Chain A
């Protein structure tokens, strides 16, 4: 049996998956990235291999992606997360023509061709507005875990209008609205809406072509999914593995290489 790994070392978290030669996930792992991306990459790799019930030498090929991809010194190849999210999204939703990935620091809109290839992409520039980091600021200001933000925002009855999407100023804006007596859920709904409109603009920049698949850590946020669908006026594909989509895409590239034999020291049998 051939096993491959995909490691996505992002700005906030390192994600990893192991696939078997049928492209099935046999292990996944996630860790927060702290000071050292290289250490985080090694730790998440060790963890995913253990979660898959394997040892490191069973992994025939490893592809690294994310900002920390060049820190994955044990990886065989680096591929950008743009290609990896596109690959992962089209593997699960083959009719995907647009991918929206909202990560911790970057938001990407990716246009996909009929053969699943990346045609174009747009990313936020020089500013973390409209990224997961903005929600991180909200989480900090409201002293709530990230996972609680979406469900709470969905309880809003009178969402406030958030004028800044600046992540640095978000905290003071939230505190300002709370001081004026707005309820946390209404402030949160406003923040989600601000991110959704900014991300929708990125999607339109590459051409809003259905089907749209929403990936990245923020795709787990139900309020964001709902608002994006509303703002874009179209349903979104959301995978239960959306958070791992970059790592899955990386692992699928790894599987290509393992199958083509570009490096397969531990491969005993290769699927046709």
Chain B
């Protein structure tokens, strides 16, 4: 890339991101006293655009749970859920959330998480609906379940223009109308399509910038690590999706990352290997995990997590048409779900494309001990990229937030061996 000077970023994206996260948590904390309605939603398939039009404060229980890991408080919350009777095999995000309920919703961030006025689940992860049923029982708030059809068969995709896509879209749109009715009832406000269009325009701009930010990491050296810096980026992206603040943050971030590219600044001092991370992070030890790779000069230039965890695959470049906001929301929701977490049929193709675009030297798969859903497709996926592209891959396993599944010596051993494989390949001049 040409070494052109870009104007310096006006404010620091990191500080701004931190401020926005704090403000988001403070808003949640103070919602009841301000009479603000609260929605519990998941990261994928959440119809957040509609909730924004009704000014709900958004609580992401997945983010609450991962934050117990980041803040090293997960064991206490997991223990509470297990003491209550949950099996150690149950999704650790669910258990941390149950632990939070059993702790009077006092989150280790210092936030008191208020009870929901509406709780929305979707069919995009097979745990979501059961999880929402726990909320129903605990808070006495009926869950609203969005049934979003994904891909049903391998090698078949209901694309726009096909009768099946039309049916899927209508199915989703009908549910969104039901959701709007429910929101009107809860808030006493009338649905405003112009407000939805405004929110969608903001989302479009955030996505446009996000796609650019992801592309900037195709540069060598990669300006950021998608599994460390990138995790902060999507946290803000999710919490402030569809807002002017979110747009401003993405602009700052984009300029900052573009500046690094222009100056040739890499995330690691000497980038020796460009890697792709597939799967969900180990939030309780992510810095350590990234260190294990970066100490060998390996940087995660891309990850499928930054696509599917960003509100449901924003990086595929799905944009809203604000001139017909509700219909467009149904269309994008339908298409995004085809590419989301629950779809295993085409994930290998997405990954293979990333390998080319990011000039990856290898792929690291991270299996989650308490989530078989994300780990299930990894074997096929790995077989595909290994046999088709001869690309070195590594499979390591730990958990989302349960430190009991982190075995440092075992993981380090595998990572060291993986880099020996990469080194041998480099010496032989092959990939």
CB of B413 within 8 A of CB of A120, answer: no
Query: Do the beta carbons of A82 and B420 come within 8 Å of each other?
Result: yes
* Contact assessment for B369 and A82 in the assembled complex, using a CB-CB cutoff below 8 Å: no
- Confirm or deny: B376 has a beta carbon within 8 angstroms of a beta carbon on chain A: no
Residues of A185-243 whose CB lies within 8 A of B? 205
| Contact status A126-B405, CB under 8 Å | yes
Q: From the candidates A78, A106, A115, A205, name the one contacting B428 in the complex (CB within 8 A).
A: A115
Are A67 and B417 CB-contacts (below 8 A) given A117-B428, A118-B424, A120-B392?
A: no
Partner of A126, one of B386, B397, B428: B397
The reply to whether A80 and B407 contact each other, CB–CB distance below 8 Å, is no
List A contacts of B397 (CB < 8 A): 125-126
Q: Is B55 an interface residue (CB 8 A)?
A: no
* Interface hits, A122-143 → B, CB 8 Å: 122-123, 125-126
What chain B residues lie within 8 Å of A79 (beta carbons)?
420
What is the distance, in angstroms, from A122's C-beta to the closest C-beta of chain B?
A: 7
Q: Which residues of the partner chain B approach A125 to less than 8 Å between Cβ atoms?
A: 367, 397, 410
Task: Give every chain B residue within 8 A of A90 (Cβ-Cβ).
Answer: none
Q: Mark B77-89, 1 if CB is under 8 A from A, else 0.
A: 0000000000000
**Is A13 part of the binding interface, using a Cβ–Cβ cutoff of 8 Å?**
no
Determine the residue in chain A with the shortest Cβ distance to B424.
A117
Chain A CB within 8 A of B324 CB? no
A48 CA to B417 CA, complexed, in Å: 26
Residues of B within 8 A of A120 (CB): 386, 392-393, 421
- Using Cβ atoms and an 8 Å threshold, which residues of chain A touch B421? 83, 117-121
Give complex CA distance A115, B429 in Å.
12
Given the complex of chains A and B, what is the CA–CA distance between A109 and B369 in angstroms? 21
Instruction: Determine whether B414 belongs to the interface, using a CB cutoff of 8 Å to chain A.
Output: yes
B417/A118 in contact, CB under 8 A? yes
Residues of chain A within 8 A of B425, CB atoms compared: 117
CB of A166 to closest CB in B, whole Å: 14
Nearest CB on B from A200, distance (A): 16
A83–B414 touching, CB < 8 Å: no
- Asked if B291 CB lies within 8 Å of chain A CBs, one says no
Interface string of A84-127 (1 = CB under 8 A from B): 00000000000000000000001000000001011111110110
Residues of A contacting B369 in the complex (Cβ-Cβ under 8 angstroms): 126
Identify which of residues 387-428 in chain B touch chain A, using a CB-to-CB cut-off of 8 Å: 392-393, 395, 397, 405, 407, 409-410, 413-414, 416-417, 420-421, 424-425, 428
Most B-side CB within 10 Å, residue of A82, A126, A205: A126
Whether A67 and B405, one on each chain, are in contact in the complex, defined by CB atoms closer than 8 angstroms, is no
**B420, closest chain A residue (CB):** A83
Q: Kindly state the separation between the CA atoms of A135 and B344 in the bound complex, as whole angstroms.
A: 38
* A83 CA / B420 CA spacing, docked (Å): 7
Measured between alpha carbons, how far is A238 from B379 in the docked complex, in Å?
Answer: 29
Rounded to whole Å, the gap between the CB of A245 and the closest CB of chain B is 15
Per the bound structure, the CA–CA distance linking A80 and B410 in Å amounts to 11
Which range contains the number of A residues in contact with the other chain?
Answer: 10 to 19
Bound-state Cα–Cα, A125 to B369, Å = 10
Tell me the smallest distance from the CB of A121 to a CB of chain B, in Å: 6
By the criterion CB–CB under 8 Å, are A82 and B393 in contact?
Answer: no
Query: How far, in whole Å, are A123 and B409 apart by their CA atoms in the complex?
Result: 13
Contact A126 B420 (CB under 8 A): no
Task: Give every chain A residue within 8 A of B420 (Cβ-Cβ).
Answer: 79-80, 82-83, 118
Please state if B395 and A80 are interface contacts (CB–CB under 8 Å): no
Contact status B416-A80, CB under 8 Å = yes
CB closest chain-A residue, reference B369: A126
A260 CB to closest chain B CB (Å) equals: 13
Q: Assess the A121–B417 pair: CB atoms within 8 A.
A: yes
Tell me how far the C-beta of A97 lies from the nearest C-beta in chain B, rounded to whole angstroms: 15
A residues in contact with B417, CB < 8 Å = 80, 82-83, 118, 121
Q: Looking across the interface, which residue of chain B has its beta carbon closest to that of A120?
A: B386
1/0 per position for A163-179, CB-CB distance to B under 8 A? 00000000000000000
For the complex, give the distance between the alpha carbons of A63 and B395 in Å: 26
Query: Shortest Cβ distance from A104 into chain B, in angstroms?
Result: 13
A106 to B413, CA, bound (A): 11
**Residues in chain B near residue A119, CB distance under 8 A:** 392, 421
**Which residues of B in the span 152-197 have a Cβ within 8 Å of any Cβ on A?**
none
**Distance (Å) between the CB of B29 and the closest chain A CB?**
38
A143 → chain B closest CB, angstroms: 31
Contacts of A78 in B (CB 8 A): 416
- Chain B, residues 368-391, CB within 8 Å of chain A (1/0): the string is 010000000001000000100000
- Chain B residues within 8 Å of A118, by CB: 417, 420-421, 424
Q: How far in angstroms is the closest Cβ of chain B from A215? A: 15
Distance in Å: Cβ of A191 to nearest Cβ of chain B: 24
Q: Which of B392, B393, B413, B428 contacts A80 (CB under 8 A)?
A: B413
Q: Are B386 and A67 in contact (CB under 8 A)?
A: no
Provide the B18-42 mask, 1 if CB < 8 A to any CB of A, else 0: 0000000000000000000000000
A205 to B395, CA, bound (A): 11
Nearest CB on A from B58, distance (A): 35
Chain B proximity of A81: nearest CB distance (Å): 8
Question: B247-294: which have CB < 8 Å to A?
Answer: none
Minimum CB distance partner of A66 in chain B: B413
Q: Which residues of B contact A83 (CB under 8 A)?
A: 417, 420-421, 424
Rounded to whole angstroms, the CA-CA distance of A80 and B416 in the bound complex is 7
Query: Which B residues are CB-close (under 8 A) to A123?
Result: 410, 414
Chain A, Cβ-Cβ closest to B390 = A119
Contact (Cβ within 8 A) B407 A126: yes
Q: In the complex, what distance in Å separates the CA atom of A217 from the CA atom of B417?
A: 20
CA distance A142 to B407 in the complex (A): 30
A-B contact pairs, 7 of them (CB 8 A): A79-B420, A80-B417, A82-B417, A83-B421, A106-B410, A117-B421, A120-B386
In the A-B complex, the 4 residue pairs with the smallest Cβ-Cβ separation, listed nearest first, are A82-B417, A80-B417, A117-B424, A83-B420
Residues of B within 8 A of A (CB): 367, 369, 379, 386, 392-393, 395, 397, 405, 407, 409-410, 413-414, 416-417, 420-421, 424-425, 428
**Given A120-B421, A125-B410; 20 other pairs, CB 8 A cutoff:** A67-B409, A67-B413, A80-B416, A80-B420, A81-B413, A82-B420, A83-B417, A83-B421, A83-B424, A106-B413, A117-B421, A117-B424, A118-B417, A118-B421, A119-B421, A120-B393, A121-B417, A126-B369, A126-B405, A205-B379
